[in-house]
Amino acid sequence: MPQVLVTGGTGYIGSWCVLALLEAGHTVRTTVRDLGREPSLRSWLHAAAPFDDTRLTVRRADLERPDGWDQAVADCDFVLHVASPTLRRTPADEDEMVVPAREGVLRVLRASRAAGVQRVVLTSAFGAIGIGHPPRSTPFTEEDWTNVEAGIPPYQRSKTLAERAAWRFIADEGGTLELAAVHPVGVFGPLLGPDDPPSLRLVRRMLEGKVPACPPFGMSYVDVRDVADLHLRAMTDPAAAGERFLASAGHSPLRVVDIARILHDRLGDRAAKAPTRELPVWLTRALSIVNPELRVLRHQLGQDLDATSAKAERLLGWRARPIEDTIADTAESLLAHGIGTAR
pLDDT score of 188? 97
Q: What is the largest CA-CA distance in the chain?
A: 57
Are the CB atoms for 271 and 103 separated by under 8 Å? no
Are the CB atoms for 79 and 108 separated by under 8 Å? yes
Q: Which long-range contacts (CB under 8 A, 24 or more apart) does 32-41 make?
A: 32/8, 32/58, 32/59, 32/60, 32/61, 33/60, 33/61, 33/62, 34/60, 35/60, 37/10, 40/10, 40/193, 41/9, 41/10, 41/15, 41/193
Would you list the domain boundaries of the chain?
3-197+221-251+306-321
- Averaged pLDDT, groups of 10, the chain, 343 residues long: 94 97 97 95 96 96 92 97 71 73 95 98 97 91 96 90 98 98 97 89 94 92 98 98 96 91 97 93 80 77 91 98 97 91 56
CATH fold of the domain at 3-197+221-251+306-321 = Rossmann fold (3.40.50)
Q: Cα-flanking dihedrals φ and ψ of residue 7, to 5°?
A: -85, 140
Q: What residues contact residue 189 under an 8 Å CB cut-off, 6+ apart?
A: 16, 223, 224, 225, 226, 326, 329, 330, 333
Strand locations in the chain (E): 3-7, 27-32, 56-60, 78-81, 119-123, 178-184, 186-188, 218-219, 221-223, 244-247, 254-255, 304-305
Q: How many other CB atoms are there within 10 angstroms of residue 147's CB atom?
A: 16
pLDDT score of 342? 52
Strands 218-219 and 254-255: antiparallel
Name the nearest CA neighbour of 177 among 247, 128, 108.
Answer: 108
pLDDT score of 105? 97
pLDDT score of 93? 58
Catalytic residue from among 159, 210, 273, 311: 159
pLDDT score of 283? 82
Are the CB atoms for 279 and 214 separated by under 8 Å? yes
159 counts as catalytic:
yes
Q: How far apart are CA 337 and CA 196, in angstroms?
A: 10
pLDDT score of 146? 97
